[in-house]
Structure 1
Amino acid sequence: MSRDARWKALLDLLVEQGRLDVEEAATALDVSAATIRRDFDQLAEQQMLVRTRGGALVHGVSYELPLRYKTSRRAAEKRRISTAVAALISPGEAVGFTGGTTTTEVARALAARPDLATGSPALTVVTNALNIANELAIRPQFKIVVTGGVARPQSYELIGPLAGGVLGQITMDTAVLGVGAFDAVHGATAHDEDEAAINRLLCERAGRVVVAADSTKLGQRAFARICATEQVDTLVTDAAVSDEMADRFAEAGVEVIRA
């Protein structure tokens, strides 16, 4: 197992359990305790965990795993969700994207659609996510509009007044929203308040809001509110969502699509 793969696995375990001890992690990953100690020390230096005697803790209750370590989590579900979201977009639309692993997969699914391979442009993409802009900028069928702003390293998203200034001057047909959590009562939320503020403005400037979220994020709350549930038109999630959970969103006026 490479170091990057091991770090991803360690951080996934840490997020799920809240704390890990060295021996437990060594057994789970089938490596030596010395290797885990080194990994914990190096991750602590990057402020991605809190080192303790004999183990590690997450960084508080609103811990957010940086995007580069989340790409392999629930990958199959995210691919199915992204395909379903991409199918909702029509040629010629202006589409807004927030950052996140699921929205990145949606952008890739759009790039793979043969009916969008031609046109001038086939789609206008508005995003504050540097990684999404980078992936789509080389594709001539997409007109890419980047908001500007200050880069947030955890999510590659641009935030702040500069980002808000651009979004305030444009309108979009659809906003594809990645979330930290989505609850039928408390709405869509994110871990960071500045990120939430830009995502909120993106929603306000769009005629339709689509939340792309796997089922583990549903019925949960994160720190900062993005928008109320009634502002969301469609939720695209995976087949593992319970009927009870889906019914809660449907009762709140949200169309639920299970991919």
Structure 2
Amino acid sequence: MTTAELVDPAPAAALAALFDNGLPAPRPGEDLPPLWHWVALPRWPVSSELGPDGHPARGTFLPPIDLPRRMFAGGEVLIHRAPKIGETVTRMSIVDSVTEKSGRSGKLVIVVVRTVLSDGSPLVEERQDIIYREAGTPASEAPVQPADLAGAPFRRTKDGWDFATDPTLLMRFSAATANPHRIHYDWPYATRIEGYPSLVVHGPLMSLALAEVLRLDSPDMRVTRLAHRNLAPLFCGQPAQLRTEPRPGGATLTLVGDAGPRTSLEADYHEEGHSHA
């Protein structure tokens, strides 16, 4: 699938408002921050193509896999040059592989999608790993939905950053990323049909939160590679911390919940105006 697409300033401004962390929204002509292409290049599926979970029915671009649970498992992004707000880029996406496996939770299928953004030469090269699994056991009674709004999701602490979520944050992120997956905003569906204990925080939101810490703490660094991996789900309203461990030429970042690590991010970067050592 190959399309020409505008790096849209509107959803980028929406994400900046959602994060509310003191950093301004990127303006036309400015570089798109790392991983923000997930927001600035939205693809809205037409309503008639949606499946029961809210995602586009399989068998068009993604293969016709008959497993109900879909998860964004991780991937890798290489940034040769950041796309700029307002420019038009070419996006080419292909399904690279489909692998069936059996795990402790039953049958699963791993789909690898590769995407290249270019302006005649590659700007961003990306691999995304998507996992399809069997359904969980539906909950007999849905737990009480968190009622309090969390406010700004980023909160600096002496050890790094806290990250707070609430239903409005998840709904707004779904809208900003053109993501109709019902586990993120439809409480009865998430708990009673797919068997989750609460609304599920988006995998891309957790990875973006970690990448945002790089912008907050290391604004002079130019990111060249990000490898992200979702380790376990984070549920709406659960407390989480964003932790950074610097290393030569980059850093390892982890989103940690009460039950342990939820998402990890390996970042390679160098200071603007300097090449790698």
Question: Which bin holds the TM-score, normalised by the shorter protein?
Answer: under 0.3
Q: TM-score, normalised by structure 1?
A: 0.27
- Larger helix proportion, structure 1 or 2? 1
Structure number with the bigger relative contact order (C-alpha 8 A, sep ≥ 6) is 2
Name the TM-score, length of structure 2 as normaliser: 0.26
Bigger share in strand: 2
